[in-house]
Amino acid sequence: MHPSLEAFALAAGLLALGAALVHRLGFPPLPVYLLIGLLVGERLPVEELEPLPSLGLLLLLFSVGLEFGPDRLRSLSGKALRAGFWDALALPLGFLLGLLLGLDLRGAALLAGVVYVSSSAVIVKLIVDLRRAANPESEVVLGVLVLEDVAVALLLALLGGEGPWGFLLSLFLALAYLAFARYLGPPLVRAVEAFSDELVLLLGAALTTGTALLFHAAGASEGVGAFLMGVVAASLGLRERLEHLFGPVRNLGVALFFLVVGAEALKLLQGFSPGLFLSVFLALLLKLPLNHRGAALAGLGLRRRLYAALYLVPRGEFNLVLGTLALGQGYPVVAQFAVLLVLISIPLGALLIRFAPEIGARLYPRKAMGTA
């Protein structure tokens, strides 16, 4: 029996057990996948699981692009834009934090992205699972997430390649893909409608991974390529079909990706300083007043402002992408920061989102609100 099959059987069993434990509690399983990775550590031969974790990350970024395509950008309300402006102030504050940690300009820019971006995957899943999608704060939060993902995709294009040349190539490839979708996409979509689900799944996987490889070969970030492919597919009106087809494959790959991140985190976090730990908590606190202020300008009431700020606590996929990129570029402190931030913010954020109404009732009793 091939060692990769044994590793996969062990990993899938552990992940299934962890998901079963949190299923009834209504929490997303991602924190449990990270925790399992931390617990099994070096006992799990994570290298035998490839390429599934890497594929899962690419499909996750593809799904983020699919969810926040051009139509969602056009539909952004003024509320979301006002809230997004205040949320974006975390970028210069994160950059300043990076300089205080002794990083150079590039390292500080990577840390700024890590501090800034919240996890669309975790937050959207929680909002849907808790049946809060119709709440007024959810509209604002989802709009802010759209702006965050676009901003970080641009940051990855700028910092993920080989300097300005990589950024220019990323920009050229993005324009080429969008032009293709604009002028040749409609007849292609009509042809795809007659394809079987199996063929669409295989073509989508081939195009997503192929685009990621093309961006990587051009000296750009492969994550941007996968994200862009999702944006193109969304602009062609393929969102619902591709979400249905890719969902189970993506979820399996993402589970393995977070398991691998947890398993490798112990090695990465060896020797981290207490100052770094305090900086992570500072980064978590940093966005709360910004998002609270942005929600106020979006017209939300006192409780809804609090909910919006709490909803944006979890960090996840893009933070780990930026951390991996930073590690490859010689910034282990940024990688440690990203992993610590994800490990702390996902379980903490899941709890805060789950109990946001109870927290709001405690902080803003209806009687006190009426008096105010």
Q: Quick check: 354 and 130 in contact, CB under 8 A?
A: yes
The structure tokens listed for 118 are: 């919240």
- Given this model, what pLDDT does residue 113 score? 93
Each of the 372 residues of the chain gets a pLDDT tens digit; together they read 667 787 888 888 888 888 887 776 666 677 788 888 888 877 777 777 778 888 888 888 888 788 766 666 666 667 778 898 999 999 999 999 999 988 999 999 999 999 999 988 788 878 877 888 888 888 899 889 888 888 888 888 778 766 666 677 777 777 887 787 777 777 877 777 778 888 888 888 898 899 888 887 777 778 788 888 888 888 777 788 888 888 888 888 888 888 887 787 777 777 677 888 888 999 999 899 999 999 999 888 889 999 999 999 999 878 888 888 888 888 888 988 998 898 889 888 888 998 899 999 888 886 555 444
CA distance 113 to 176: 26
Q: Quick check: 327 and 119 in contact, CB under 8 A?
A: no
- Given this model, what pLDDT does residue 371 score? 46
Q: Quick check: 97 and 111 in contact, CB under 8 A?
A: yes
- Given this model, what pLDDT does residue 358 score? 92
In one-letter notation, the amino acid at residue 58 is: L
Q: What CATH number has the domain bearing residue 33? A: 1.20.1530.20
Closest among 150, 140, 151 to 91, alpha carbons compared: 151
- Given this model, what pLDDT does residue 68 score? 65
In one-letter notation, the amino acid at residue 167 is: F
CA distance 315 to 321: 11
Distance, first Cα to last Cα, the chain: 69
CA distance 318 to 327: 14
- Domain enclosing residue 115, as ranges: 3-371
CA distance 363 to 371: 14
Give a three-class secondary structure readout of the chain.
Answer: CCHHHHHHHHHHHHHHHHHHHHHCCCCCCHHHHHHHHHHHHHHCCHHHHCCHHHHHHHHHHHHHHHHCCHHHHHCCCHHHHHHHHHHHCHHHHHHHHHHHCCCCHHHHHHHHHHHHCCCHHHHHHHHHHCCCCCCHHHHHHHHHHHHHHHHHHHHHHHHCCCHHHHHHHHHHHHHHHHHHHHHCHHHHHHHHCCCCHHHHHHHHHHHHHHHHHHHHHCCCCHHHHHHHHHHHHHHCCCHHHHHHHHHHHHHHHHHHHHHHHHHHHHHHCCCCCHHHHHHHHHHHHHHHHHHHHHHHHCCCCHHHHHHHHHHCCCCCHHHHHHHHHHHHCCCHHHHHHHHHHHHHHHHHHHHHHHCHHHHHHHHCCHHHHHHC
- Given this model, what pLDDT does residue 76 score? 67
* The residue to which tokens 């979890």 are assigned: 314
CA distance 57 to 66: 14
CA distance 325 to 157: 11
Name the domain count of the chain. Answer: 1
Burial class of residue 131, CB neighbours in 10 A (0-12, 13-18, 19+): exposed
